[in-house]
Every structure is written in structure tokens, then in C-alpha cells.
Amino acid sequence: MFPPNSTLGIIGGGQLGRMSAIAAARLGFRTHIFSNVSCAPASQVANETTVGSYDNPEAIDRFAKAVDVITFEFENISADGLDRLASLKPVHPSGEILRTSQDRIIEKSFLNQHGIPTTSWLPIYNINDALRAGDTLSFPFLLKTTRLGYDGKGQAIVHNTDELNKIFNTLDPHPLIAEKIVNFNCEISVMVARNKLGQVTTFDVTENQHKNGILDLSFAPARIDIDLQKEAKTLAIHIANSLKLIGILGIEMFIADNGQILINEIAPRPHNSGHWTLDACPINQFEMHVRAVMGLPLPNAIRHSDAVMKNLIGPQGMRVWDSILSTQGLIGHLYGKKIAKSGRKMGHVTKLYPLHTLPGKYGSEYF
């Protein structure tokens, strides 16, 4: 267990690092951010920042030497960078978990090898593989980059062979992955945390709605059958144990129209769909993450309220900030980003409901 005043190093300076640093400070830890820009959202609330590119060995060494333990909020550090960090200080979650989640082919192979269901998929290394996917998965199917995709970027639906050639050449970097389209009733996610002692805890299942490939609304708890909620949590625990996770993991899942739960992807860090826990749980996802990384105990992830979370995205999101501030019952969070570019996550807002009173699916205005 790292004692109070130990320094947690966080790779990446975005909002997930910012909220992790705030949680760490509350537990009496110091934080040190590694970011490729100065004044990043996380740096604004941390003790120190090392500014440098994520593949600069000299900057990585300087950062690692100044901290006691390292975690990340940003997933795209190079394998070499990770190895270098791990040779200097403990890194949680491990580089191996990060490598698994960085690559959709490795990720889905890992899940399937551990008996965890996903949609049908094929690795696409060349155009012949892509043409075969049309036969095997049948049109339309999804073509995605295996690496560096986020918020729906780096993927496209392929409707026919003509489109296939174009999309194959546009998506970058290669290799690609072809996925069968899941007809889903809803998308859910589970945040699961695990520490070195093997203590595991899961937050309640979240229901997620996306707009233009970006998370728009999260509902907690998900308005699905209690048995499905239990099954989703059991799957999450199985994944965390299989990965020997130390830290927190966000797991995105589909509930297919036949009722089957399929895993979409995993992210070994706090997750946007877990932001509701900041306001609706005594211990939120960021604190649970920090506890796991610092070797602290992991009490059960209890929810004291139901919650709806809405992302504030780009200039439109910022336009409603004043009205959020003047509306009773809305809890606003801003991330300290200077320019409200289209598609950029600027903040979020949470509305709480007493336990078991979350409005049902239809006909409700949430905000």
C-alpha cells in the first residue's frame, strides 16, 4: 500500500486524468502528469507536470524518476515507451493489458480465448481478406482500424463491394478488422476495479446512448432485466480476473436483440460512461481507480442515487452551461479546455434521482 503523500504519475493530461488527480488529492496523494501539452486539463489540478512527447525517452525517464507509481488515462503510448516506464517504476494496469486493449484484433482474440462472447469478426490484412469478409459476415458489415480509433472515428459501414475498395483504402492505419453488425436493443457498460490482493468490485450497470459516434447520455442503473445486469457484472469480473487487472476497466457491451450480451471493447482506465459515479456513489470510479493502483482496499461500489449523465460537447455543449449553473438539481462539471471545438468533450452534467426512481425509457425529458 502506498502511504499518504506518495506520488501517482498519470500518463495523459485529459479530463480522465484531471478527475483521477482530484480523487487522488482527496486521498492525500500527490499527482504528476505526463502530457505532450502544457496547461492540459489534468495539469491544472495536479502538483507537477512533465511536458514531452509520449515517445521521448529522456522525458519518460524524467517523469518516471519523479513518481512512485504510474497509471495512464490515455491509451496510445508506444510499446517501447511502456517498456521503458515499466523498467523504472510499477505501472498499473500493466503494459500487457494496455497492449491488449490498444488493438482490436488482440482484444477480441483475448476475449474469445477466455470464452467471452463478441460479435463475429475477421482480421483484415489485405483487400482479399476484406472481400472474403463480405461473404463471411455478409453486407453490410463494419470495417474498423484496429488501433487509434475513438468516439466512432476510424470506422465505416460497408454496404457493397464497390464501397469496400474505397473504405479499405481510406481507413488508416492498417491492419483493419471486419465486424458483423450487432442488432442491439441497447448498449451498456460496466466499470470494474481490481487490486493487487484480487479484491474486485463492479459499479452498477450503465445504459449508454450515442450521438454521431460520441457518448451522449448515460443512465444508471441500466433499464434492463435484473438477470441481465447480474450477467453483465459477472462477465466484467471474469474479464478483470482473466487480465489480472490492477486498476479500473471500462467494458462496453451490447445487448443483442436475441438477449445475448456481447462485449464490444474494453478500456483499462476510467471511462466516460462512469462519470455518473462522481455524483451518485460514495466512492466514484476515479477514487476506485486510484485506490486500486495505490494498493488501497476496495469497498463495494455502492450507488446512493439513480443518475442520468449528459456530455457537454463542443460549442453547443458550452452554450447550455449558464442554464446548468442556474438550474436547481443539476451538477455541472467542466474540464478546463480552452477551445470548444466541434466534437470535443468539454464537460458533463449529472441529474440525480432517489434510488429506484430513474424515469423509464420513453417520454421523459432528462434535462
Ligand X SMILES: Nc1ncnc2c1ncn2[C@@H]1O[C@H](COP(=O)(O)OP(=O)(O)O)[C@@H](O)[C@H]1O
Interface residues toward Mg ion, by CB under 5 A: 252
Q: Provide the H-helix boundaries in 215-306.
A: 226-242, 277-280, 285-294
| CA atoms within 13 A of residue 183's CA, in its CB half-sphere | 3
DSSP state letter for 300: -
92: three-class secondary structure by DSSP: coil
Shortest separation between residue 159's beta carbon and Mg ion, angstroms: 22
Closer residue to ligand X in complex, CB, 177/307: 177
Choosing among Mg ion, ligand X, none, which partner's interface includes residue 149 (Cβ < 5 to 8 Å by kind)? ligand X
349: three-class secondary structure by DSSP: strand
For residues 301 and 288, the answer to whether their CB atoms sit within 8 Å is yes
Shortest separation between residue 265's beta carbon and Mg ion, angstroms: 5
Shortest separation between residue 265's beta carbon and ligand X, angstroms: 5
DSSP state letter for 66: T
Closer residue to Mg ion in complex, CB, 250/347: 250
Per-residue burial over 4-22, b = 16 or more CB atoms within 10 Å of its CB, e = otherwise: eebbbbbbbbbbbbbbbbb
Quick one: which of 258, 285, 284, 260 has its CA closest to 270? Answer: 285
73/22 Cα distance (integer angstroms):
14
Shortest separation between residue 252's beta carbon and Mg ion, angstroms: 5
61/331 Cα distance (integer angstroms):
39
Show the site string, 117-156: x = touches ligand X by CB under 6 A, - = not: --x----------------------x------xxxx----
φ, ψ dihedrals at 62, nearest 5°? -60, -45
282/278 Cα distance (integer angstroms):
8
Choosing among ligand X, Mg ion, none, which partner's interface includes residue 107 (Cβ < 5 to 8 Å by kind)? none
288-317 residues in contact with ligand X (CB under 6 A) are none
The DSSP annotation for 80-112 comes to HHHHHHHHHS-BSS-HHHHHHHH-HHHHHHHHH
Choosing among ligand X, Mg ion, none, which partner's interface includes residue 181 (Cβ < 5 to 8 Å by kind)? ligand X
Closer residue to ligand X in complex, CB, 129/265: 265
Shortest separation between residue 232's beta carbon and ligand X, angstroms: 15
- When binding is defined by CB under 6 A, the residue of 51, 59, 66, 181 that contacts ligand X is 181
Closer residue to ligand X in complex, CB, 224/283: 224
Closer residue to ligand X in complex, CB, 264/350: 264
Q: Which stretch binds ligand X (CB under 6 A): 70-78, 166-174, 175-183, 243-251?
A: 175-183
Show the site string, 227-256: x = touches ligand X by CB under 6 A, - = not: -------------------------x----
105 forms part of the interface with ligand X (CB under 6 A): no
Choosing among Mg ion, ligand X, none, which partner's interface includes residue 179 (Cβ < 5 to 8 Å by kind)? ligand X
Closer residue to ligand X in complex, CB, 131/181: 181
Q: Is 336 left (phi over 0), alpha (psi -120 to 50) or beta?
A: left
The residue whose grid cell reads 490492477 is 246
Under 8 Å CB-to-CB from 122, ≥6 apart: which residues? Answer: 129, 132, 133, 136, 137, 177, 178
Closer residue to ligand X in complex, CB, 30/104: 104
Q: Which stretch binds ligand X (CB under 6 A): 124-132, 180-188, 282-290, 316-324?
A: 180-188
159 forms part of the interface with ligand X (CB under 6 A): no
288/193 Cα distance (integer angstroms):
7
213 forms part of the interface with ligand X (CB under 6 A): yes
Closer residue to ligand X in complex, CB, 47/185: 185
33/70 Cα distance (integer angstroms):
10
- When binding is defined by CB under 6 A, the residue of 73, 107, 187, 279 that contacts ligand X is 187
> Which residues bind to ligand X, rule: CB under 6 A?
119, 142, 149-152, 179, 181-182, 187, 210, 213, 252, 264-265
